[in-house]
């Protein structure tokens, strides 16, 4: 089998399994469990020097970074599905969302998580990050207003790639003021391929309970 996912529970690698299910591709999963401190186990360093997931083994090559993996799978195995034509303006917007998800949106949450681990509960840095997170939530909510998916009425890999940001914020109870974002999370979590990914990858704490927690 040429597709292997190195999967860590409750992590970004869930969306890689979900995308594989959306594309109806065959794959194998190597599962890893987070430590009691909720970090990746040292055993993952045998799969890749950085010891992080997702990792996709594609035709013998190990690819990291979820955005690169989403792009690779859709370009090489998507058969024209889940992405606009490459010469269209919609494709440029699609690429923007692929990069935005981790480069901008998740960056704020990652920094906030480190402050939490350091037990920093207040201060100018914390307040600035909270304000930036709210700015990103408002930005995504506005983009989803009056549309089902990030690019309009067609579900794409951009929705898969940005999903983790929406789910983490939903789980943390941050989506109350953002109804379009709430609806989007509920919508993608209701997709059959999403449920299939949970069956394949195991329990995922950001699943449907996250959207329910976000409700006012």
Q: Domains of the chain: which residue ranges?
A: 3-77, 89-214
The answer to whether the CB of 66 falls within 8 A of the CB of 54 is yes
Residue range 120-163, pLDDT digits in tens: 777 887 788 888 999 999 999 999 999 999 999 999 999 999 99
Please tell me if the domain spanning 3-77 has the same topology as the one spanning 89-214.
no
Let me know: does 27 contact 49? Beta carbons within 8 Å. Answer: no
* pLDDT tens digits along 157-180: 999 999 999 999 999 899 999 999
CATH number of the 3-77 domain: 3.40.30.10
What residue ranges in 9-109 does DSSP mark as E strands?
28-32, 55-58, 61-64
CATH annotation of 89-214: 1.20.1050.10
Task: Evaluate if residue 213 carries a pLDDT over 60.
Answer: no
Judge contact between 25 and 58, C-beta under 8 A: no
Q: Are 5 and 20 spatial neighbours (Cβ–Cβ below 8 Å)?
A: yes
Q: What pLDDT score does 208 carry?
A: 65
Round to whole Å and give the CA distance between 186 and 55: 26
Return phi, psi of residue 15, to 5°.
Answer: -70, -25
The pLDDT score that the predictor gives to residue 33 is 92
Number of H helices, E strands in the chain: 9, 4
CA separation, residue 90 to residues 81, 150, 158 (Å): 14, 10, 11
**At 196, phi and psi to the nearest 5?**
-65, -35
- Per the prediction, the chain carries an average pLDDT of 91
């Amino acid at each position: 089998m040429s597709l292997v996912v190195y999967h860590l529970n409750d992590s970004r690698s869930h969306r890689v399994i979900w995308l594989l299910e959306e594309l109806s591709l065959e794959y194998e999963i190597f599962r890893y469990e987070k430590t009691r401190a909720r970090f990746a186990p040292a055993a993952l360093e045998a799969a890749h020097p950085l010891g992080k997931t997702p990792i996709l083994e594609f035709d013998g090559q190990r690819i990291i970074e979820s955005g690169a993996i989403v792009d690779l799978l859709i370009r090489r195995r998507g058969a024209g599905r889940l992405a606009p034509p490459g010469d269209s303006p919609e494709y440029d917007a699609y690429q923007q969302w692929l990069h935005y998800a981790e480069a901008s949106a998740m960056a704020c949450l990652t920094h906030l998580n480190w402050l939490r681990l350091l037990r920093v509960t207040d201060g100018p840095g914390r307040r600035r990050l909270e304000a930036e997170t709210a700015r990103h939530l408002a930005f995504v909510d506005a983009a989803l207003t009056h549309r089902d998916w990030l690019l309009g009425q067609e579900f794409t890999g951009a929705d898969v790639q940005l999903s983790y940001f929406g789910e983490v914020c939903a789980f943390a109870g941050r989506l109350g003021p953002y109804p379009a974002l709430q609806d989007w999370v509920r919508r993608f979590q209701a997709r059959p391929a999403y449920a299939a990914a949970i069956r394949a990858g195991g329990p995922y704490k950001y699943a449907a309970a996250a959207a329910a927690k976000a409700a006012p």
